[in-house]
Structure 1
Amino acid sequence: MNDTPSPAYQVLARKYRPETFADLVGQDAMVRTLKNAFEADRIAQAFIMTGIRGTGKTTTARIIAKGMNCIGPDGEGKPTTEPCGQCEHCVAIMEGRHVDVMEMDAASRTGVNDIREIIDSVRYRAASARYKIYIIDEVHMLSTSAFNALLKTLEEPPEHVKFIFATTEIRKVPVTVLSRCQRFDLRRIEPEDMIGLLNKIALAENAQIADDALALITRAAEGSARDATSLLDQAISHGAGETSADQVRAMLGLADRGRVLDLMDMILRGDAAGALTELGGQYAEGADPLAVLRDLAEITHWVSVVKITPDAADDPTVSPDERSRGQQLAEALPMRVLTRMWQMLLKALEEVSAAPNAMMAAEMAVIRLTHVADLPSPEELIKRLQDTPPGPPIGGPGGGIPAPSHAAVQTQAPVATSYAAPAHSGGGGPSAALAQDVQAALARYPTFDHVVELIRANRDGVLLDEVKRSLRLVAYQPGRIEFQPTERASAQLPQRLGTALQRWTGNRWAVTVVNEGGGETIYEKENAVEEALKAEAREHPLVQAVLAQFPKARIKSIETPEQRAAKIETEALPEVEDEWDPFEEG
């Protein structure tokens, strides 16, 4: 009876871990820099590797350690970017047992005492290797005091000591540490390179896996080689040697992209019943409602990008059928429909995540989405409001025009927010004569300055101050105001301004808010004029003489002769006609 234990299984992520720089996938810029540095004997005292999970940060650190300490098969080698992998140092480093290459996980050893051990040991030379190398993984987890304790040693380490750091959160590493290290940003692995790597591993493992399945794994890995090889390992086991895209999709809990595209077609056609039936069918087959909506959002984003940049359709992770259908959608759909659908899907994803029943929330989201193509744009909404016939009069004869109770119609869009005050004229449909009367009435306000004067004449000081301080005018024509609000502007300013103008003029005003294009506020313009006058006054010899005698004096305000005359005229008492004198002759 043979009691010899079978060799332990090694997962693919460890079995096919790169051992040389040539094995690293998708990091050509870093490899070229390191090769040139080794050849020129310009090896930095500290390196820091950053990137997302699974891009090879720790593996690269070990390869650098091997290259620094490799002595070659004959024992006479020098530092190289092509370690032999056969000498005692190369073998010991890759097996993680080299006495002079110490790895520390900063996630579990974060304190200053752990760094003090390193500081105390750097003074001693390497026991057997050329360099003593410290690899600190997840270095951003070190405490502030630990970083401070490391700074001096990191800046001026002994010649025989090298530091290599790895982190996924480079922003959490103090700049004082970054300035002492040579930084390398490891990129996400491109889909083409990832598919090639997975194909190579599958061939080495004698596993048959469909190209569509590899594309699904690549998409799920999001640029991480370790995630991709782990998923490939799982897929090979799931498929028992022959793995199809459907098996990988079931393994990952993904919806069929073709059926998701069918669902998107039904949504865009406004077929709510068909869309709910399709969603229910996918749910019955095991698809997660949240995953279906995520796929819808991903397809919406991809179609939008293809519409702007057609070359994006050449993504190798996209199947030919999906590419063809996506290109057709990009040609047929306007961008405003795609952006609205994207916003509604983001909201739906939040609702489904928080809902007690994910399927119910997903169905409600799909019902809303079926109306996305029918929603008017902000410009169309304003035009519809202006073209709407006025309603019946409000209030009795002679009762005046009361302020509307809910006179705001707002549309929310990524670019503009609009308000149009409702008309309260008499009954009857619109006519050419009425339109001419409206135009004639609005012609009394040819510029925005006339609007400001109207607000001032009606003594609405609060609105006047807000308009002067918070409104950056973009465009104006009688009856229509387009402006960019300042950061401190009230969200109710468009509604209040439109309602007030409608009340004072008896005609509807469209007030639109945009995100850019505004000039200076009235307050800023007035301040600029005043500052220019003050600067001019400071140059006057008499003013300079006064300021020389009174250094702490300041110019508080300036009035031109015209302003002074206008002020006097305003403050003067009105003339009173002579009263009748009964004793006056005549």
Structure 2
Amino acid sequence: MSYTALYRKFRPTSFEDVKGQDHIITTLQNQIKANRIGHAYLFCGTRGTGKTTVAKIFAKAVNCEHPVDGSPCGECAMCRSIAAGTSMNVIEIDAASNNGVDNIREIREEVTYRPTEGKYKVYIIDEVHMLSIGAFNALLKTLEEPPEYVIFILATTEVHKIPITILSRCQHYDFKRITIDTIAARMNELMEAEQVDVEEKAIRYIAKAADGSMRDALSLLDQCIAFYLGQKLTYDNVLEVLGAVDTDVFSRLLRKIIQRDVAAVLNTVEELVMQGRELSQLAADFTWYLRNLLLVKTSDSIEDVLDVSTENLQQLKEEAQMIETDMLLRYIRIFSELSGQMKYATQKRVLLEVALIKLCTPAMETTEDALLDRIRAVEEKLEKGIAVMPEGGYGSPYPQGNAGAAGGFGGGMEEPAKKPEIPLAIPEDVQEVVKNFRAIADEISDPVRTTLKKARLSLGGENRLMVVLPEGIEASIAGREDHVKELEALIEQRIGKKVEVEVRQVEEGRRFDDTFVDIEKKINMEITVED
């Protein structure tokens, strides 16, 4: 006899065997016991949650000669013939391939004939959303007033595609995604019956990968058992078959990202690629890992919500202390976007590497959530005593001879490095700012970036730069404390000196062009103001 897949071999034959849909099973059993059976049902929900299975069990139950507590006995002639697929009372139709008006007309003609045996003729129309508009219209009258011996059960994964006229004629049942615990418990039962040795950790990973679908879980389990036939199925075996990555790798990857070590991050990607890991799965799993980390970071008692081991939870708590919430939100945003892009990408590795470099290098982004990370990166460099070199290649603001003292570059120093004091700017430094002001302004977040395009510059002292704007609204936007600090931080990053920024509006009654000092004469340079 040929091999039968697990999901077919162990398909439930009674209501008691159906897992994770108790709210539906109880309702249907009560209807059968009270003889309050409806004429049309709509079963909707994600794939692999039991819609067609429950429909077949219900068809057996309403025709069973000796029902037991609302469930089919499984022993009578009707139950056996329906289970074998030989009964003329249960007609299963695939709407994906029988979606025309003529197919529905055939049903309308057939329902005029009473069942040859049993009480009810049950029509199970699978993937009913695939019917054409004409077919739906042809079904309407029959669905509303069928003969008393006919029951329609419509099953679909996309209920939003079904006309409201059909929905209003049916009892509507939503099949929920099945929980990881329920799927894992069911797989453990089946593995005992099959006498297959499987690690609990492996079972739970497969249950999680199934995403709420019992059928998907059993198909993945079947695949893993076939690959390691005759051996104990371990967690590492499952990762190998599914092309997935262990959480320890995610932990190592995250720590390298926090350290902004691009080389180490790309080396980790190289290792995973050489191991044959599926990069789309890697992106999805790492996003989930970051989500768990965010929950740990923002809540004190999250153990019941997270489906992780005690060791992994302790590891998450440790990493939660190493990262800020805004950084986590930015990481999740980037990887959520990446997951969508990788579905149809041909160069998945390139997309993954670019996303990881973005995480390590916040200066690559100009979004608002990247700004704090960019400032934090500058502060980290300053705390370590590393001179912040501007992109244009200007000289270091610190003398070379003091590098060891300032940042602890010399070996054997146990004391933590002190944050070096940033020297105040002098007019020559302000000249550097003026020369590169448009480039600096382009790095600032909106709407300040747009506003600063209209600004005029003026010296307000030895180390003060005055930014004069023509309108009060523009001045209020650019003059907000956080925006001023952001501009000062970008200037400091550019020249390595402190420049105090003051934002003003043009004085009332004065022309805008006369309001600022002629900075060209003060610093002896030509200034080109770009529009």
Q: Give TM-score, length-normalised by structure 1.
A: 0.66
| C-alpha displacement of 1:379 | 7.7
The structure-2 alpha-carbon separation of the partners of 1:335 and 1:114, relative to structure 1 and needing over 3 Å to count, comes to same
Q: Counterparts in 2 of 1:255-266, with a 5 A limit? A: 255-266=245-256
Q: Could you say which residue in structure 1 is the equivalent of 2:259?
A: 269
Q: Could you say what secondary structure the match of 1:230 adopts?
A: helix
| C-alpha displacement of 1:344 | 2.1
Q: Could you say which residue in structure 1 is the equivalent of 2:65?
A: 71
Q: Deviations over 1:191-217 (max 9, x none)?
A: 111110010000000000001111121
| C-alpha displacement of 1:429 | 5.3
> One-letter code of the match for 1:479?
G
The structure-2 alpha-carbon separation of the partners of 1:183 and 1:306, relative to structure 1 and needing over 3 Å to count, comes to farther
Checking the alignment, whether the CA contact within 8 Å between 2:30 and 2:70 is kept in structure 1 is no
Checking the alignment, whether the CA contact within 8 Å between 1:131 and 1:161 is kept in structure 2 is yes
Q: Could you say what secondary structure the match of 1:208 adopts?
A: coil
| C-alpha displacement of 1:310 | 5.2
Q: 2:47 aligns with which of 41, 53, 61?
A: 53
Q: Counterparts in 2 of 1:264-343, with a 5 A limit? A: 264-309=254-299, 312-314=302-304, 317-343=307-333
Q: Could you say which residue in structure 1 is the equivalent of 2:211?
A: 222
The structure-2 alpha-carbon separation of the partners of 1:128 and 1:311, relative to structure 1 and needing over 3 Å to count, comes to farther
| C-alpha displacement of 1:274 | 1.7
| C-alpha displacement of 1:117 | 0.7
Q: Could you say which residue in structure 2 is the equivalent of 1:17?
A: 11
Q: Could you say which residue in structure 2 is the equivalent of 1:150?
A: 139
Structure 2 gaps of 5+ residues are: 377-421, 483-502, 517-531
The structure-2 alpha-carbon separation of the partners of 1:132 and 1:418, relative to structure 1 and needing over 3 Å to count, comes to farther
> One-letter code of the match for 2:458?
G
CA distance in 2, matches of 1:305, 1:419: 37
Q: Could you say what secondary structure the match of 2:431 adopts?
A: coil
Checking the alignment, whether the CA contact within 8 Å between 2:362 and 2:370 is kept in structure 1 is no
CA distance in 1, matches of 2:342, 2:95: 37
Q: Could you say which residue in structure 1 is the equivalent of 2:452?
A: 421
Q: Could you say which residue in structure 2 is the equivalent of 1:479?
A: 479
The structure-2 alpha-carbon separation of the partners of 1:238 and 1:345, relative to structure 1 and needing over 3 Å to count, comes to same
| C-alpha displacement of 1:308 | 3.5
| C-alpha displacement of 1:179 | 0.6
| C-alpha displacement of 1:314 | 3.8
> One-letter code of the match for 1:8?
S
CA distance in 2, matches of 1:501, 1:128: 94
> One-letter code of the match for 2:356?
V
| C-alpha displacement of 1:21 | 1.1
| C-alpha displacement of 1:408 | 4.8
Q: Could you say what secondary structure the match of 1:426 adopts?
A: strand
Structure 1 vs Structure 2: percent identity of aligned residues?
Answer: 35
Structure 1 gaps of 5+ residues are: 1-6, 396-402, 456-475, 483-497, 508-586
1:134 and 2:166 matched: no
| C-alpha displacement of 1:65 | 0.5
| C-alpha displacement of 1:33 | 1.6
Checking the alignment, whether the CA contact within 8 Å between 1:137 and 1:167 is kept in structure 2 is yes
CA distance in 1, matches of 2:478, 2:4: 77
Q: Deviations over 1:245-285 (max 9, x none)?
A: 11111111112221122111111121222222222222222
CA distance in 2, matches of 1:419, 1:378: 18
Q: Counterparts in 2 of 1:54-453, with a 5 A limit? A: 54-72=48-66, 81-241=70-230, 242-309=232-299, 312-314=302-304, 317-349=307-339, 357-372=347-362, 391-392=430-431, 408-411=442-445, 421=452, 424-427=456-459, 451=472
CA distance in 2, matches of 1:250, 1:297: 20
CA distance in 2, matches of 1:302, 1:501: 51
The structure-2 alpha-carbon separation of the partners of 1:38 and 1:367, relative to structure 1 and needing over 3 Å to count, comes to same
The structure-2 alpha-carbon separation of the partners of 1:312 and 1:42, relative to structure 1 and needing over 3 Å to count, comes to farther
> One-letter code of the match for 2:457?
S
The structure-2 alpha-carbon separation of the partners of 1:501 and 1:236, relative to structure 1 and needing over 3 Å to count, comes to farther
The structure-2 alpha-carbon separation of the partners of 1:373 and 1:186, relative to structure 1 and needing over 3 Å to count, comes to farther
Q: Could you say what secondary structure the match of 1:103 adopts?
A: strand
> One-letter code of the match for 1:421?
L
CA distance in 1, matches of 2:457, 2:36: 83
Q: Deviations over 1:3-26 (max 9, x none)?
A: xxxx33221111111111111101
Q: Could you say which residue in structure 2 is the equivalent of 1:469?
A: none
| C-alpha displacement of 1:378 | 7.4
The structure-2 alpha-carbon separation of the partners of 1:197 and 1:380, relative to structure 1 and needing over 3 Å to count, comes to closer
| C-alpha displacement of 1:322 | 2.5
Checking the alignment, whether the CA contact within 8 Å between 1:104 and 1:137 is kept in structure 2 is yes
Q: Could you say which residue in structure 2 is the equivalent of 1:581?
A: none
Checking the alignment, whether the CA contact within 8 Å between 1:303 and 1:330 is kept in structure 2 is yes
Q: Could you say what secondary structure the match of 1:209 adopts?
A: coil
> One-letter code of the match for 2:37?
I
CA distance in 2, matches of 1:144, 1:53: 24
Checking the alignment, whether the CA contact within 8 Å between 1:391 and 1:424 is kept in structure 2 is no
Checking the alignment, whether the CA contact within 8 Å between 2:43 and 2:155 is kept in structure 1 is yes
Q: Give TM-score, length-normalised by structure 2.
A: 0.73
The structure-2 alpha-carbon separation of the partners of 1:80 and 1:93, relative to structure 1 and needing over 3 Å to count, comes to farther
CA distance in 1, matches of 2:374, 2:206: 47
Q: Counterparts in 2 of 1:524-539, with a 5 A limit? A: none
RMSD: 3.9
Checking the alignment, whether the CA contact within 8 Å between 1:307 and 1:330 is kept in structure 2 is yes
Q: Could you say what secondary structure the match of 1:425 adopts?
A: strand
CA distance in 2, matches of 1:359, 1:372: 20
CA distance in 2, matches of 1:430, 1:89: 98
| C-alpha displacement of 1:54 | 0.6
Checking the alignment, whether the CA contact within 8 Å between 2:441 and 2:449 is kept in structure 1 is no
Greater CA radius of gyration, 1 or 2? 1
CA distance in 2, matches of 1:53, 1:222: 10
| C-alpha displacement of 1:140 | 0.5
